[in-house]
Amino acid sequence: MEPIIIEGTPKTPSIKFDTQDGVFEIKGRSIPENSVEFYKPLNEWLDQYMQTPLDKTVVNIRLEYFNTSSSKCILDVFKRLEAIHRSKHDVEINWFYEEDDEDMLEAGEDYDSIIKVPFKMIEIVE
């Protein structure tokens, strides 16, 4: 399956979901005015990936900032990962947050309580 690779901008994260090298990552800032438009290609890619996923999918979320409009789109990504997990495939979400960034930690905990997928909180110590 062709990977999806999107370069980051000051308002949108870089995205790399690549089945060849097993990298699934969203990184940077996600604060666009129209998040639905931005995340549409990723969710479409995941819809296809869900048909024949890898035995294990590890997704790294390394966000510095995200707005409330992105929060729903990120949840949509996680719901697709949850569906893969439900279909008896291993899925793991690593939620990275910077030291002392309690807001980002809490945001990860919110998702963890909504999504039934193994969720790991990883503190980045500078």
> Under the criterion CB under 8 A, does residue 20 sit at the interface with other proteins?
no
Write the DSSP string, the chain. Answer: ---EEE---SSS-EEEEETTTTEEEEEEEE--S-HHHHHHHHHHHHHHHTTS--SEEEEEEEEEEE-HHHHHHHHHHHHHHHHHHHTT-EEEEEEEEETT-HHHHHHHHHHHHH--S-EEEEEE--
> Which C-beta is closer to other proteins: that of 14 or that of 71?
71
> Under the criterion CB under 8 A, does residue 10 sit at the interface with other proteins?
yes
The least CB distance from residue 3 to other proteins, in Å, is: 26
> Under the criterion CB under 8 A, does residue 36 sit at the interface with other proteins?
yes
> Which C-beta is closer to other proteins: that of 21 or that of 33?
33
> Which C-beta is closer to other proteins: that of 14 or that of 19?
14
Q: In terms of DSSP bridges, do strands 4-6 and 14-18 run parallel, antiparallel, or are they unpaired? A: antiparallel
Among 114, 118, 123, 124, binds other proteins (CB under 8 A): 114
Total binding residues for other proteins by CB under 8 A?
24
> Which C-beta is closer to other proteins: that of 30 or that of 53?
30
Residues lying near other proteins in the complex (CB under 8 A): 10-11, 31-33, 35-36, 65, 67-69, 71-73, 75, 98, 100-103, 106, 110, 113-114
